[in-house]
A and B are shown apart, each in its own frame.
Chain A
Amino acid sequence: MTYPVTVPVDDTIDETLDSAVATSQPGLMRSAWGLWRTRIGVALVVLLVGIAIVGPWVAPYGASEFVGTANMRDVPGTWLGTDYFGQDVWSRFLHGGRSILFLATVSTLIGFLFGSAIGLIAAYNRGRIDDVLMRFMDVILAFPQLLLALVALTTVGPKPWLIISIVGFTTIPRIARITRGAAVPVVERDFVAAAEALGESRFRIITRELLPNVIGPLLVEANLRLTYAIGIIAGLGFLGFATERNAADWGLMVQENRVALSVQPWGTVLPAIAIALLTVGTGLISDGLSRTVAGIDRGRPDS
């Protein structure tokens, strides 16, 4: 499936080229910062990441310190009562942001890097490479994710690297498909043909011409994937695969205390709110970014 490429010769092409290149410049961040949603997003993410980093130092109790009978709402000396194991909910919350942030971010990054690379290569080269890559992605997608996760974790055990690998690996084909879908129309655009005509290398075309033009949908997807990564890792806790038993971890906390939701809701509600705010934050940022990208790409200001 190749399409006739006409070599464009008029000036508008150069403008398009410039604007496309411009998206990868620092201007993107600056433009995005102009949007209120980006600012709120950044504020939320900074707040939550801040809690995750500073929390352990300001927590009144240790993460696994016994403070009173388990699952109690009113325990003297605590703000929000005890969790499933007689530990202070508030202190656990302060301790619990680091690991899930780390696991979710790293696994999403892995999926994002490999997935977008595969998607772009497939879209740009089309033909056989495209076929092979995307069929391979299909096989991964067709393979039940749940089965892969359960089998791997049962046989190897819930190691952090394994959880990162599984979540990252299953994210790859999803990002790849989205990237390819978004990149195919771009490949057909005139400025790509122009770049080819100018003799630019494939790598340069892919990274400088294609990538900036698909970064919008990609960021949206990556943000969703980050959200799901948090959900999946928390869900693995639900299925019994926490990296470390009784580790203070927002995802795990939600699961550990879920049974007691009607008796002592804080253990579940507090980390759930934290996770929600965090993902709303990253969502707003990627929203802002994608709007900015779209705006520059089309030479039209964001409304």
Chain B
Amino acid sequence: MTDQRKLWVPPTLGRRQLIVGAGAVGAAGLLAACGGDDDTASVNTTAPSGTTAATEPPGTTAPGAPATTAPGVTETTVPAGGIKSGGTLRVGVVGSTNDLMDAQYIVARADQARLITGWEPISNYDDNFNIAYNNSLAEEIEAVAPDQYVVRLKQGVEFHNGKTVGADDLIYSFNRLIDPELGIAPNLTQFIDANSFTKLDDRTVQIDLLKPSVAFLYGMADYGATIVPVDYARFAGDPATQIGTGAFKLKSFTPGSESVHTRFENYWGESYLDEVQIIDFADQSALVNALSSGDIDVAIDVPYAQAGSIESSGELTLLESQAGNWQTITMRVDMAPFDDVRVRQAMRLISNREEMVQRVLSGHGRVGNDMYGVLDGSYPKDFPQREQDIEAAKALLKDAGQENLEIELFAPDDTAGLPEYATAFAEQAKAAGINVTATVLDGGTYWGDQYTQRVFATSYWSTRPYLNQVGAGSLPTATYPETHWPPAGSNFVELYDQAIAEVDTDKRNELIREMQRQEYEEGGNIISYFQNLIDGHATYVKGAVARPNLINFDHFGRGWKNIWLDL
């Protein structure tokens, strides 16, 4: 990211990334309803000429899934000599002394890397955003009804302490997610409580939801929906307590310095490395410098500004994945001036999306169309691409009596891109004759009590299926109702309730389509772009594939098990 963040808030200076702020993290994904379906993902771009298709190491993806490549990315290929085992991988990530280690909860990127290293979720998404089980612990999940699921775990999966993963662990894991003392996923309590689980046998659990949700199935594929052993608790000094099922088990952890993970010999799948070190960096420049000087092998989340310097080095290469992460300018549809739909429409016409991508992302992204859920099969890619149209915007503003609008647009200083997005929008708004002032607030203040209360603000989200995202951000009951959508008199909530209980994919997609149409025409989000995920690594690091992804470095090499060193 073009991280201008401060230290403390810096990424640079290592300010915490507050991924959790807008729910890019696991917990938030679980809470919402779900809307994925069996369609193939929409993002698959055809590989540009000259790009070879990815050859994937075993165990990465569902067989036959088309590999998707981001432009300009060199593919990792398995050489004639085959995969080599052994070695220590040194991974750099921006982190701080505030780092924590929890199997189901994160605050910053470094926490996310460590969670994915140690623990595995119930199910997972494949490259096409469908439910799969190749990187997760369930053998199968049966959706008996929209409010009843049966989870059967893989047989003989061992925890790091030798115990076998069983039904009790699964139930404990769910209960931990909704434990009010921990506050990991409080909104999940609308679907499950302590009585929702029935142990059918040692590795099978039946889940009865409090209310129907087809989204629940997708929630279990979230990387934060992990299985922990009974009595698991957050790291408080003793590495031996951090027991998971991942390919690498924790040897030591010092917040703000590093964690060391050694190969777990009894891992149920395959892995190649002997040891993984996840090293904290206080500053993104230091991170990239360390990669350039060979002090680390992988740099997670390279600033867009430095992508060029990595590309130009023969020993280093970029892993750039088209991701569904989006940043948005939010307009409260229930407050003046945005309670007038014409003002919202005018604002959306002001954004010069191509310029945003060049300016904010240094070109490392795709233009947005005010819609989210881009990796979901239901993404309305046939909606006309909205372009900047200053004249139309002016006319709408004039109709609404807002041609001299003066308004403050807020952004947090701890999220790379948002201050720039706000600043660039303010600049573009001048052309329409209105005066937008971009005000950047300290992250703590921004995400505090006033978050979701501001009339005109910015936010960011990772990607999730459309219905899950609606549940997280676009309902009166949403976790983070940033735009206070839907407006009064809309049937949006009814459509949502029907869709989330609808098992038939086609019927559900029809309902979703109508919801999307309403949001596209009248919604409160200005989504100008989707960001690419960019990581850098030494060329001898193999096994990571550039494909549409939710998480950096090909999902951290799925807990590093796919990664090997060609030394």
Contacts and interface: CB of A to CB of B under 8 A. Distances in A.
B8 A239 contact: yes
A69 B365 CA distance: 12
Interface stretch (B207-215, B440-448, B507-515): B440-448
B562 interface: no
Nearest to A155: B442
Contact of A259 (B8, B292, B305, B444): B305
Interface string B351-374: 000010011101100000000000
Given A64-B423, A66-B359, A85-B359, A259 B7 contact: no
Contacts of B442: 154, 157
B438 A263 contact: no
Given A150-B8, A262-B309, A71 B419 contact: no
Interface string A254-274: 001111111110000000000
B9 interface: yes
Contacts of A250: none
B46 to A, nearest CB: 24
Contacts of B284: 259
Interface string B327-366: 0000000000000000000000000000100111011000
Q: How large is the interface on A (under 10, 10 to 19, 20 to 34, 35 or more residues)?
A: 20 to 34
B482 to A, nearest CB: 21
A218 B172 CA distance: 69
Interface in A134-158: 150, 154, 157
Given A69-B358, A239-B7, A240-B413, A64 B303 contact: no
Interface string B403-445: 0000000010100000110011001000000000010111010
B96 to A, nearest CB: 13
Given A69-B363, A71-B304, A259-B3, A86 B358 contact: yes
A263 B306 contact: yes
A246 interface: yes
Contacts of A69: 358-359, 362-363
Contacts of B8: 150, 154, 239-240
Contacts of B537: none
Nearest to B313: A262
A217 to B, nearest CB: 35
Interface in A207-248: 238-241, 245-246
B305 A245 contact: no
Contacts of B309: 262-263
B303 A259 contact: yes
A245 B440 contact: yes
B254 to A, nearest CB: 23
B310 to A, nearest CB: 10
A70 B420 CA distance: 12
A84 interface: yes
A85 to B, nearest CB: 6
B552 interface: no
Contacts of A295: none
B308 interface: yes
Contacts of B304: 70-71
A263 to B, nearest CB: 5
Nearest to A157: B442
B6 interface: yes
Contact of B358 (A68, A241, A258, A260): A68
A64 B6 contact: no
B484 interface: no
A70 B7 contact: no
A209 to B, nearest CB: 47
A230 B232 CA distance: 51
A263 B308 contact: yes
B157 to A, nearest CB: 42
Nearest to A236: B6
Given A69-B358, A70-B305, A86-B359, 10 more contacts: A64-B423, A66-B355, A66-B424, A68-B358, A69-B359, A70-B359, A84-B2, A150-B8, A157-B442, A259-B3
25 contacts: A64-B423, A66-B355, A66-B358, A66-B424, A66-B427, A69-B359, A70-B304, A71-B362, A84-B2, A85-B2, A85-B360, A150-B8, A157-B442, A239-B7, A239-B10, A240-B4, A240-B6, A240-B12, A241-B6, A245-B423, A258-B285, A259-B285, A260-B305, A260-B306, A263-B309
The 10 lowest CB-CB distance pairs between A and B, nearest first, are: A240-B6, A260-B305, A86-B359, A70-B362, A69-B358, A245-B440, A262-B309, A263-B308, A259-B305, A71-B305
